[in-house]
Structures are given as C-alpha cells and as structure tokens.
C-alpha cells in the first residue's frame, strides 16, 4: 500500500514521494483509533460472524441518539434548502456516481472535499491501482481551484479494492481527517454499513466516487447522487439527488464559483419570442 502526498507544483507533480502508513502515524498525520496497533490490513474473518457483528453495531447505533457533527452547505440555496439538514451532514457516508468515463463525478467530489476540508482540513483519497471507472491520479494544480491544496491531500493506492476499503475505514476513525474519499470501489451493503459506522464514530465524512455508469446498489449511504456534464449555457454539471434519508429526490444544473469556492445554480433560460422576419 502506498500513500502519496500530491505535490502542488505541476513540474514536481511526478516527483511524488511515498511514505508508509506507519510513518504517517508517527508524525501525527494519521492517528489510529484508541487501542489499535494495526499497520496492515487484518486477516479476513468468517462472513457470518462479521454479519452478526455488523447487525449488532447497527442495532446499538439505532438505540442511541444520532450524533451531529454539523453540515457543510453546497453554497447554492436551492440544493441546501432541499436537504433536511440544510447542507451535507458531516460524519456520514455519501455516494456519488456518474456515467462511465465522465470526470464530473471527480470534479464534484473534489469540490465537496474542498468545502469539507475548509482552510486547514486533511483529505485522504483511497483507490485501487487498477479497476473500471478509475480516473487519472488527482492532479495537484487542478485541485487547488476547488479549495483543496495538494499539500493537504494524501493519495492511498492499493493492490486490491478490499485494501482500499480498509484504508478508508482506518482514515474515517482518525479525527484529524476532514474527509475520506473512496474511488473506483463497489462495496456491498455490509461494507457501506462499516464505513457509515466508522464515519459516525469520529465525525469524518466519507465520499464514495464511481464513474462506472452502474445503476445504484443497496447502500448505507445517507445520500446518493448522480453527476454528469452538461452543455447548457451557464451550467457545467447536472447534479441529481437520487436518495436521501428524510428527503426527496431533486435535480439541479450547477456550476462552480472559483472566487467563493461554492456551487452556484445555473440561471434558467428566459423564453423569448422569435422575432418576425420581413418578407423580401
């Protein structure tokens, strides 16, 4: 498993240096949750036993008052007012999908990560080295326009998708993280429940990004979105809320404001009469 800090300068982007997860922990960048000394993915356990543990954890969580870690608004009133929380709730799992090969998912995900991180937060980006729907490695200078300086982004690349899920869960249990992104992963319901529980435990937000064009699957994500590009004037992306706990689906045409680092709703096109033409 490699963890690669993304370089800021375009010229030095290819000269990324690699450090181990244990080294990051020693420097305080990644802090394991109390009582844990694991520095490698754990050995797999019996699926039935794991399922019983997950059901028990979920039952315990439902019996307690839900923790609130605040929200991060999109900055577009139409979207924020449609969400029950007035924005995207922190410390929860959110899923974002899009058409195969469409980079919109990663643009929107980077923008959300930037708003979650704010001025000082750290973001952990986890992905397998190979897989369907994977984009190129996050590009340092391009991330800066979304309010996410590359020196506050750590890229984790793994050999297997299951290892990337493990890295996500570990990152979500680290309170120093503002957000943890998982790219190119297709976790089942049990895996997303684990991610949701980990996010709630420390208030770190999880974002699952997928540009595989697949239909939504059963998931414990609090919100599920679909994002794709659009050529309509004044708009850059079409953002659709497909599922939301306590809310209703919706759809918006949006763009990104580089100055305010926020989403902006595209102005509706005005209906204008076609001017009459004079006969020759």
Are the CB atoms for 80 and 87 separated by under 8 Å? yes
- What DSSP letter does each residue of 176-202 carry, written as one string? TEEEEEEES----HHHHHHHHHHHHHH
Task: Return the pLDDT at 127.
Answer: 92
User: How many Å separate Cα 168 from the centre of its chain?
Assistant: 11
Task: Return the pLDDT at 189.
Answer: 93
Dihedral of alpha carbons 76, 79, 81, 85, sign = negative
Specify the pTM: 0.74
Nearest 10 degrees: Cα torsion 64, 173, 40, 121: 170
Task: Return the pLDDT at 162.
Answer: 94
Considering just the CA atoms, what is the radius of gyration of the chain in Å? 20
Enumerate residue ranges in the chain where pLDDT < 70.
Answer: 1-44, 55-67, 131-135, 213-216, 268-280
Ranges of each domain in the chain:
2-20+71-265
| Rounded alpha-carbon distances, angstroms, from residue 200 to 54, 66, 185, 217 | 14, 9, 20, 21
Q: What is the DSSP letter of 269?
A: P
CATH number of 2-20+71-265: 3.40.50.300
């Amino acid at each position: 498993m490699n963890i690669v800090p993304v370089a800021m300068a375009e010229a030095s982007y290819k000269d990324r240096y690699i450090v181990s997860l244990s080294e990051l922990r020693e420097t305080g960048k990644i802090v394991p949750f109390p009582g844990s000394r694991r520095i490698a993915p754990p050995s797999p356990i019996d699926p039935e036993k794991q399922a019983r543990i997950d059901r028990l954890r979920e039952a315990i969580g439902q019996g307690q008052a839900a923790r609130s870690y605040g929200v991060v608004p999109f900055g577009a009133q139409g979207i924020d007012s449609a969400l029950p929380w007035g924005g995207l709730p922190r410390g929860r799992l959110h899923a974002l999908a899009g058409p195969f090969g469409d980079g919109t998912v990663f643009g929107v995900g980077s923008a959300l990560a930037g708003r979650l991180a704010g001025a000082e937060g750290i973001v952990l980006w986890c992905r397998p080295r190979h897989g369907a729907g994977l984009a190129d490695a996050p590009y340092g200078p391009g991330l800066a326009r979304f309010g996410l300086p590359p020196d506050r982004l750590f890229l984790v690349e793994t050999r297997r998708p299951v290892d990337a899920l493990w890295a996500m869960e570990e990152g979500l249990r680290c309170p120093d993280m503002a957000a943890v992104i998982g790219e190119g992963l297709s976790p089942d319901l049990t895996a997303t429940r684990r991610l949701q529980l980990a996010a709630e435990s420390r208030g770190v937000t999880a974002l699952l990004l997928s540009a595989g064009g697949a239909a939504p699957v059963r998931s414990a994500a609090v919100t599920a979105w679909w994002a794709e590009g659009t050529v309509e004037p004044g708009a850059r992306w079409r953002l659709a809320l497909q599922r939301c706990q306590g809310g209703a689906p919706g759809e918006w045409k949006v763009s990104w404001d580089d100055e305010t680092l926020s989403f902006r709703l595209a102005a509706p096109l005005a209906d204008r009469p076609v001017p009459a033409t004079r006969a020759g």
